[in-house]
Structure 1
Amino acid sequence: MSSEYNYDPDAQFFPFFVLTITSLVTFPLTYTLLRAPTTTTGASSKASHITSPYQPEHAEIIDAQRAKQKRKEVRLKRMLTAGTGWLVMAYMVYLVYVTARATPTVWNPYDILDIGMSASEKQINSRYRRLSVTMHPDKRQPDASRNETFDMVNDQWVEIVKAYKSLTDEDVRNNYIQYGNPDGKQSTSFGIALPKFLVSEGSGKYVLAFYALLLGIGLPWLVGKWWYGMQKMTRERVLVTTAGNMFKEYRERMDEGDVVAAVSSALEYKDILHGAKEQGGLGKLEQRLEQASAETGMLPKDKKKLDDLDDPVRRKTLALVWAYLNRLDLDDKSLEAEKYELAPTVLQMNEAFLSICLAYGFTAPVLASYHLSQALVQATPPANRLPLLQLPHFTPTIIKQIEQTTANGKKDHISIQSFMALPAEHRQALAQAAGLTNDRLKVAEGVARQLPLLKVEKAFFKVQGERYIIPSSLVQFVVKARFIPPGTTNIPDVDEKDLLDIDPAEGDIQAQKQEQEQHPVPLAYAPHFAKDRSPRWHICLVDNRQGKIAVPPFTFPSFDKKPFNEDGTPTFNVVTLKMQFQAPPQAGEYKFVMQMMCDSYMGFDYKQEAALVVEDVSKANEVDDDDYISEPEEDSIAGQMAALKGQPTASDERPRKPKREGKRLQAKREEDESDYESGTDEDEESESETDTDTDTDDE
Structure 2
Amino acid sequence: MSSEYNYDQNSEFFPFFVLTITSLITLPLTYTLLNAPSDQSGANKGHQITADYTPDNADIIDTQRAKQKRKELRLKRMLTAAAGWLVIGYMVYLMAVTTRTSAAPWDPWSVLDLSMSASEKEINSRYRKLSRTMHPDKRQPNPALNETQESVNDDYGNIVKAYKTLTDEDIRNNWIQFGHPDGRQSTSFGIALPQLLVAEGSGKYVLVFYGALLGVGLPWLVGKWWYGMQQRTKEKVYVTSAGNMFREFNERMDSGDVAAAVSSANEFKDIFDGAHADTGLGKLEGKLKAADDLAIGMSAKDRKKLDEIEDPARRKTLALVWAYLARLKLDDQTLEVGKYEVAPTTLRMTEAFLSIALAYGFTAPVFSAFHLSQDLVQAIPPSSARLPLMQLPHFTPNVVKSIEQSTGKKEHLSIQSFMALPAEQRRTLAAAAGLSSNNLGTAEQVARQLPLMKVEKAFFKVQGEKYIIPSSLVQFVVKARFIPPGSTNVPPLNEKDLLDIDPADGDLAAQKQEPEQHPIPLAYAPYLPRDRAPRWHIFLADNRQQKIAVPPFTFGMFDKKAFDDQGKPTFDVVTLKMQFQAPPQAGEYRFQMHVICDSYVGFDHKEEAVMKVEDASKALEVDDDDDISEPEEDTIAGQMAAMKGQTTADPDKPKRKREPKPKVEEESDYESGTDEDEDSESETDTDTDSDDE
**Cα shift at 1:37:** 2.4
SS of residue paired to 1:189: strand
SS of residue paired to 2:429: helix
Q: 1:520-567: CA deviations, max 9, x gaps?
A: 111111000000111111111100000001111111111111111110
Taking structure 1 as reference, are residues 287 and 451 closer, same or farther at Cα in structure 2, changes over 3 Å only? same
Distance 2:122 2:679 in 1: 102
> Residues 545 and 681 of structure 1 are in contact (CA less than 8 Å); yes or no, is this contact kept in structure 2?
yes
Q: Which residue of 1 aligns with 2:34?
A: 34
Q: Which residue of 2 aligns with 1:52?
A: 51
**Cα shift at 1:576:** 1.1
> Residues 50 and 450 of structure 1 are in contact (CA less than 8 Å); yes or no, is this contact kept in structure 2?
yes
SS of residue paired to 1:201: coil
Q: Which residue of 2 aligns with 1:395?
A: 396
- 2:289 corresponds to 1:290: yes
- 2:274 corresponds to 1:261: no
Distance 2:115 2:689 in 1: 78
> Residues 452 and 521 of structure 1 are in contact (CA less than 8 Å); yes or no, is this contact kept in structure 2?
yes
**Cα shift at 1:345:** 0.3
SS of residue paired to 2:685: strand
Q: 1:289-323: CA deviations, max 9, x gaps?
A: 11112421210000111111111111111111000
> Residues 584 and 676 of structure 1 are in contact (CA less than 8 Å); yes or no, is this contact kept in structure 2?
no
> Residues 112 and 127 of structure 2 are in contact (CA less than 8 Å); yes or no, is this contact kept in structure 1?
yes
**Cα shift at 1:512:** 5.5
Q: Which residue of 2 aligns with 1:535?
A: 534
Taking structure 1 as reference, are residues 150 and 459 closer, same or farther at Cα in structure 2, changes over 3 Å only? same
Q: 1:277-297: CA deviations, max 9, x gaps?
A: 311211111111111124212
Q: 1:590-623: CA deviations, max 9, x gaps?
A: 1101111110111110111111111111111223
Q: Decide which moves more: 497-506 or 385-394.
A: 497-506
> Residues 38 and 235 of structure 1 are in contact (CA less than 8 Å); yes or no, is this contact kept in structure 2?
no
> Residues 587 and 668 of structure 2 are in contact (CA less than 8 Å); yes or no, is this contact kept in structure 1?
no
Q: Which residue of 2 aligns with 1:315?
A: 315
> Residues 473 and 582 of structure 2 are in contact (CA less than 8 Å); yes or no, is this contact kept in structure 1?
yes
SS of residue paired to 1:368: helix
Distance 2:166 2:496 in 1: 87
Q: Which residue of 1 aligns with 2:674?
A: 681
**Cα shift at 1:126:** 6.8
Q: Which residue of 1 aligns with 2:600?
A: 601
Taking structure 1 as reference, are residues 449 and 175 closer, same or farther at Cα in structure 2, changes over 3 Å only? same
Q: Which amino acid aligns with 2:299?
A: L
Taking structure 1 as reference, are residues 140 and 555 closer, same or farther at Cα in structure 2, changes over 3 Å only? same
Taking structure 1 as reference, are residues 412 and 122 closer, same or farther at Cα in structure 2, changes over 3 Å only? farther
Distance 1:390 1:488 in 2: 18
Taking structure 1 as reference, are residues 595 and 331 closer, same or farther at Cα in structure 2, changes over 3 Å only? same
**Cα shift at 1:106:** 5.8
Q: Which residue of 2 aligns with 1:217?
A: 216
Segments of structure 2 that go 5 or more residues without pairing to the other structure are 630-648, 659-665
Distance 2:135 2:40 in 1: 80
SS of residue paired to 2:341: helix
Aligned residues: 662
Distance 1:49 1:327 in 2: 23
Q: 1:652-674: CA deviations, max 9, x gaps?
A: 89xx9xx9xxxxxxxxxxxxx99
- 2:336 corresponds to 1:342: no
**Cα shift at 1:168:** 7.8
Q: Where do residues 407-418 of structure 1 align in structure 2 (5 Å cutoff)?
A: 407=408, 410-418=409-417
Taking structure 1 as reference, are residues 396 and 176 closer, same or farther at Cα in structure 2, changes over 3 Å only? same
Q: Which residue of 1 aligns with 2:488?
A: 489
Q: Which amino acid aligns with 2:404?
A: E
Taking structure 1 as reference, are residues 121 and 270 closer, same or farther at Cα in structure 2, changes over 3 Å only? same
Q: Which residue of 2 aligns with 1:647?
A: none
> Residues 479 and 578 of structure 1 are in contact (CA less than 8 Å); yes or no, is this contact kept in structure 2?
yes
Q: Where do residues 139-538 of structure 1 align in structure 2 (5 Å cutoff)?
A: 139-143=138-142, 148-161=147-160, 174-181=173-180, 184-294=183-293, 295-383=295-383, 384-407=385-408, 410-505=409-504, 508=507, 511=510, 515-538=514-537
Segments of structure 1 that go 5 or more residues without pairing to the other structure are 631-649, 660-672
**Cα shift at 1:343:** 0.1
Q: 1:367-420: CA deviations, max 9, x gaps?
A: 00000000000000111221110000001111111111213xx43211111111
Q: 1:438-482: CA deviations, max 9, x gaps?
A: 111110111111111111111111111222111111111111111
Q: Which residue of 1 aligns with 2:11?
A: 11
Q: Which amino acid aligns with 1:450?
A: Q
Q: Decide which moves more: 112-121 or 290-299.
A: 112-121
> Residues 521 and 535 of structure 1 are in contact (CA less than 8 Å); yes or no, is this contact kept in structure 2?
yes
> Residues 41 and 534 of structure 2 are in contact (CA less than 8 Å); yes or no, is this contact kept in structure 1?
no
SS of residue paired to 2:139: coil
> Residues 467 and 697 of structure 1 are in contact (CA less than 8 Å); yes or no, is this contact kept in structure 2?
no
Distance 1:89 1:154 in 2: 46
Q: Which amino acid aligns with 1:356?
A: I
RMSD, aligned CA: 3.0
> Residues 241 and 265 of structure 2 are in contact (CA less than 8 Å); yes or no, is this contact kept in structure 1?
yes
Distance 2:171 2:304 in 1: 95
SS of residue paired to 2:92: helix
> Residues 297 and 386 of structure 2 are in contact (CA less than 8 Å); yes or no, is this contact kept in structure 1?
no
Distance 2:403 2:171 in 1: 107
Percent identity, aligned pairs only, is 70
> Residues 514 and 560 of structure 1 are in contact (CA less than 8 Å); yes or no, is this contact kept in structure 2?
no
Q: Where do residues 567-646 of structure 1 align in structure 2 (5 Å cutoff)?
A: 567-626=566-625
SS of residue paired to 1:88: helix
Q: 1:32-55: CA deviations, max 9, x gaps?
A: 2222425533343x4211111100
**Cα shift at 1:120:** 9.6
Q: Decide which moves more: 282-291 or 31-40.
A: 31-40
Taking structure 1 as reference, are residues 79 and 394 closer, same or farther at Cα in structure 2, changes over 3 Å only? same
- 2:684 corresponds to 1:693: no
Distance 1:438 1:546 in 2: 49
Q: Which amino acid aligns with 2:33?
A: L
Distance 2:627 2:81 in 1: 66
Q: Which amino acid aligns with 1:212?
A: G
Q: Which residue of 2 aligns with 1:668?
A: none
Q: Which amino acid aligns with 2:348?
A: Q
> Residues 162 and 182 of structure 1 are in contact (CA less than 8 Å); yes or no, is this contact kept in structure 2?
no
**Cα shift at 1:78:** 1.3
Distance 1:100 1:553 in 2: 64
Taking structure 1 as reference, are residues 459 and 127 closer, same or farther at Cα in structure 2, changes over 3 Å only? farther
Q: Decide which moves more: 46-55 or 590-599.
A: 46-55
Distance 2:304 2:160 in 1: 99
**Cα shift at 1:28:** 1.4
SS of residue paired to 1:42: coil
**Cα shift at 1:149:** 4.9
> Residues 587 and 667 of structure 2 are in contact (CA less than 8 Å); yes or no, is this contact kept in structure 1?
no
Taking structure 1 as reference, are residues 55 and 585 closer, same or farther at Cα in structure 2, changes over 3 Å only? same
**Cα shift at 1:223:** 0.8
Q: Which residue of 2 aligns with 1:20?
A: 20
Taking structure 1 as reference, are residues 497 and 138 closer, same or farther at Cα in structure 2, changes over 3 Å only? farther
Distance 1:115 1:464 in 2: 77
SS of residue paired to 2:395: coil
> Residues 478 and 575 of structure 2 are in contact (CA less than 8 Å); yes or no, is this contact kept in structure 1?
yes
Distance 1:581 1:512 in 2: 18
Distance 1:36 1:484 in 2: 35
> Residues 589 and 668 of structure 2 are in contact (CA less than 8 Å); yes or no, is this contact kept in structure 1?
no
Normalised by the length of structure 2, the TM-score is 0.89
Distance 2:359 2:199 in 1: 65
Q: 1:69-106: CA deviations, max 9, x gaps?
A: 11111222211211111111112222222347656556
SS of residue paired to 2:514: helix
